[in-house]
Amino acid sequence: MAGLRPRRPPRRRWLPTALGPAAAWLAAASPALAANTVPKGAQQALAPVTAMIGTLVAIAVGLGIAVCTAVIVWGGIEKMLAGSNSEAEHKAQRRISNGITGLLWMIVASVVVSVIAAIAVAYGLIEKPF
């Protein structure tokens, strides 16, 4: 029995469990069910707020993408300058992978915000922000 490792219990996957009912609700609900539920006066009053929020989200995502790109470039420069120092090269490689991970999260955030805005427009909750 030497060399055998104990089995780890399986990790619970909470994201598919949480997204399942939400996806089913979105598939079953129709935009026609929510039509004309928000008064035009409320939509017009909230139009500047939704435009401001859309602009702030676009700026935040754009700034996040710019910072992640700068981190990737910085890591590449550090990797080139590391020479034979394996510790510096490892830190630079880690910086590059963190920049790529951040870039992927920014893209996911942009897609999520776009989907939420599209659903809100389809249901007539807000006007098209852009």
**pLDDT at residue 24 in the model:** 74
- CA–CA gap between residue 92 and residue 78 (Å, rounded): 6
pLDDT digits (tens, 9 = 90+) for 42-75: 777 878 888 888 889 989 999 999 999 999 999 9
Q: Supply the mean pLDDT for the chain.
A: 83
Other C-beta atoms within 10 Å of 65: how many?
A: 16
More confident residue, 128 or 113: 113
Domain edges within the chain: 39-122
Is residue 99 within 8 A of residue 69, CB to CB? The reply is: yes
**pLDDT at residue 94 in the model:** 96
Enumerate the H helices of the chain as residue ranges. Answer: 14-28, 40-81, 86-122
- CA–CA gap between residue 97 and residue 31 (Å, rounded): 41
Nearest to 113 by CA among 70, 67, 65, 60: 60
CA angle 80, 94, 103 (to 5 degrees): 100
pLDDT digits (tens, 9 = 90+) for 104-127: 999 999 999 888 888 888 877 777
User: Could you give the percent of the chain with pLDDT greater than 70?
Assistant: 78
**pLDDT at residue 9 in the model:** 67
- CA–CA gap between residue 106 and residue 108 (Å, rounded): 5
Is residue 102 within 8 A of residue 68, CB to CB? The reply is: yes
